[in-house]
Chains A and B, each alone.
Chain A
């Protein structure tokens, strides 16, 4: 029962990743693409959670935390680049 539901959830996540890839390729502006890439990261995180349920192991649970942190850092860096043109600013008044 629960195995079938997990497989159906994985199939739906795959469809969602394909739709996000469509938005990454076609999206008219850069923020659309970044939002869709962030969405793909979140999706991969939940796919890994479901795969760890399917394989019945707790070895993948660090991957969830690290993928969350990495996708957040990527989104912040891209938004700083879009807004100001640089990611790490130099010190002024020197």
Chain B
């Protein structure tokens, strides 16, 4: 049983580390602000979730202390990580940051122009 719990903890920590390193690769290689916000919000949230789940299982099964603070942190990060990415990308669009020139269609642009003319 201990071997099974240890392997679950190790797998969870390795998956979390993998997703966070992939976030760093995305921050370097993606061309504009929107794709970078995409990479940072989604995969960093998933990586931190895996790491906190591993820490929670460690303290629960091996140390024997049940920490509700980690569960609260998991729920809070799971709610607020994508919200932060969305609001940041929205602010970037409305403050005039251009997307990359390889963009093929921009659906928000017509709507934004129409709203601005009607105001």
Contacts and interface: CB of A to CB of B under 8 A. Distances in A.
Main secondary structure on chain A at its contact with chain B?
helix
A5 B8 CA distance: 13
A83 B27 contact: no
A20 B21 CA distance: 11
Main secondary structure on chain B at its contact with chain A?
helix
Interface string A17-55: 001101100000111101110110011011001101100
B44 to A, nearest CB: 5
Interface of B: 6, 9-10, 13-14, 16-17, 20-21, 23-24, 27-28, 33, 36-37, 40-41, 44-45, 47-48, 51-52, 55, 58-59, 63, 65, 67, 69-70, 72-73, 76-77, 80-81, 83-85, 87-92, 94-95, 97
Contact of B13 (A6, A35, A58, A79): A6
Contact of B90 (A1, A13, A49, A79): A79
Contact of B52 (A15, A46, A71, A79): A46
